[in-house]
Structure 1
Amino acid sequence: MESKHKHFTDINHEFRDASIYTLKLTSLDPDNDDWVSELKLDFDHIDEWIRQDTGRFRFSLCQVALCFEGVSELSVNFSFPQSCITPLPIDRTTRSAMPVWAHGPEYSEFVWKILLNDRCSGRICLSATGHRFEKLGKPVSCEEQYIPKHMRLS
């Protein structure tokens, strides 16, 4: 019998070529009855590729947060060279096609893999009970596939 972990859905179109600027892990806080950890990735999402008359492209970009809820089994591995042009670029994102039943039918997790386009085949792997996608500002038009630092929201 095959494990559900091996059956992944490619959601590459959503996050390919995005540049991750921030990884923030919020731990659980049992003293306040908070039993859910959250991983938040802040990155530039390419809303649209705009072909110019010259054949080159401009990009409509929006700063977004991808928040994973109920995070477990988190593994992060990447190389961040000193002469990096952009922050961590995403190569491919996949999610398990079926949930992994961890604690019965009322509690399920999906397995996520975010492959990075860095020098050491970096990746962010995790299980999460849910996720949400939040736009943090209005789209801006740029010549590169990332928002310049002076135009990013803090």
Structure 2
Amino acid sequence: MNFDSFFESVEDRGIVLSVSDSEYGGQQFLSNEALFQLPLICFIVLLMAKDKRKPKVSEVGRLVGESIEDGMPGFKGSAQHIGWSANLRVRTVKAITFLESTSLIDVNNRQGRLVITELGKKLIARAMERDDDLSYNLAQIARAYRNICVAKQLDLELE
């Protein structure tokens, strides 16, 4: 069921949800814990390993944080600096360990870079081909990662 057919079926059935503001007591914000879910981090690491600019393993935690900050509108210009979060870096290591143990990525020890496997390519392609929030947000994060890499390359050329 796609987005449009879902809302059409809700409208046809006359389903109504009543929401009272008094129950929640104000505005709710996402905490950093909401972003540090291993499946999301795994998808982001797969995106980076799939890109032609393979990230160094030592930089992946920072790159995941910077990509989230730049790619998700709620974190643009944020003072949280999640790229420096120790919690995010620990969970990124766990994500890399999981991805490597499930043969979705390989860590090239000689170069210290992530390499995506054929199985990993199939998984990320399947996630990206869907028409949903996950594929949209992953595309935004992939673009942010490419922009970070291009900016780094331009900085190196200026020096």
TM-score (norm 1): 0.26
* Structure (1/2) with the larger strand percentage: 1
* Structure (1/2) with the larger helix percentage: 2
Structure with greater Cα Rg? 2
